[in-house]
Amino acid sequence: MRRQRQFAQIDVFSPTPYLGNPVAVILDAEDLEDADMLRIARWTNLSETTFVLPPTTREADYRLRIFTPGGELPFAGHPTLGSAHAWQELGGTPKIAERLVQECDAGPVEVRRRAGLLSFAAPPTRRSGDIEEEYLGQIVDAFGIDHDQVLAHQWVDNGPGWAVVRLATAREVLELQPDLSRIPAAMVGAIGAYPDGSEHAFELRTFAPGVGVPEDPVCGSMNAAVAQWFLRTGAVPGCYRVSQGRRLDRAGDVTITADPDGTIWVGGNTNTLFHGTAYA
């Protein structure tokens, strides 16, 4: 039987409302079945819809399940920040001030607030290393680029299954017109640098046909895993900003910072744009 539940739609990773990546958040979701959650996610038709449940571990403040229109993800970045924002705004109180712990299928994820921004600690990658040549060839073919345009490539999988290619410039990334029918199961991105002195260090684009999302406007999980790769190899300093979503008329702005202990934080603005009641 349907009942009323608290609902919010949060815009994540942009200082300008309606130019980030929206996530639908349904609280009080503990009695919803898997099929219900997937049906709701397909109906909202956003890149992700989340469902907040009571935690099953002592350290966590709440448990989160994350669905795309195509299925469930063990972890995702902008849904983590948007759900943390909604949970606190709609009455949730973390066990430790200015810090909360989200339980999800990828394990515990810490979220903190500093200088007005929510950030999540990048979870460990499940898979790294170079992309296999056969799959890399499929990506290059789908992206419509030459193989020698790829400066580097890497598996950056922290749950969703991401792989990424690095191109020389942000312009090359923005000019991509991928034929995703050639890689229908892919979870893949492309990143390229802006000139020195630019507001952002990189432009990132994320394509997720494998879960029913042709292009994600702003992707926290890929930014997290790419940051781990870049910082591990010395490709970037400990703090930088990424632009994402320009080809979708968005203005995503992702801040990457690294603590002295090596923890990488992925942060951005979060704004409630809709809140009310869901009947589910």
Parallel/antiparallel/unpaired status of strands 239-244 and 252-258: antiparallel
Q: What is the pLDDT of residue 98?
A: 85
Q: What is the pLDDT of residue 1?
A: 60
- DSSP classification of residue 126: S
The domain 133-263: what is its CATH number?
3.10.310.10
pLDDT block averages, 10 residues each, the chain of length 280:
92 97 96 97 96 97 96 95 97 92 96 93 96 98 98 96 98 98 98 97 97 95 97 93 97 96 96 95
Residues of the chain with CATH 3.10.310.10: 4-121+267-279, 133-263
Q: What is the pLDDT of residue 140?
A: 98
Half-sphere exposure of 242 (CA within 13 A, CB side): 32
Torsion angle of the four alpha carbons 130, 136, 142, 143, in this order, in degrees rounded to the nearest 10 = 50
The answer to whether 161 and 210 are in contact (CB under 8 A) is yes
The answer to whether 102 and 87 are in contact (CB under 8 A) is no
Rounded to two decimals, what is the model's pTM? 0.95
Half-sphere exposure of 244 (CA within 13 A, CB side): 28
Active site residues: 48
Give phi and psi for 231, each to the nearest 5. -70, -35
Task: List, in sequence order, every residue forming a beta bridge with 105; answer none if it has no partner.
Answer: none
4-121+267-279 CATH choice from 2.20.28.10, 3.40.640.10, 3.10.310.10, 3.40.630.30: 3.10.310.10
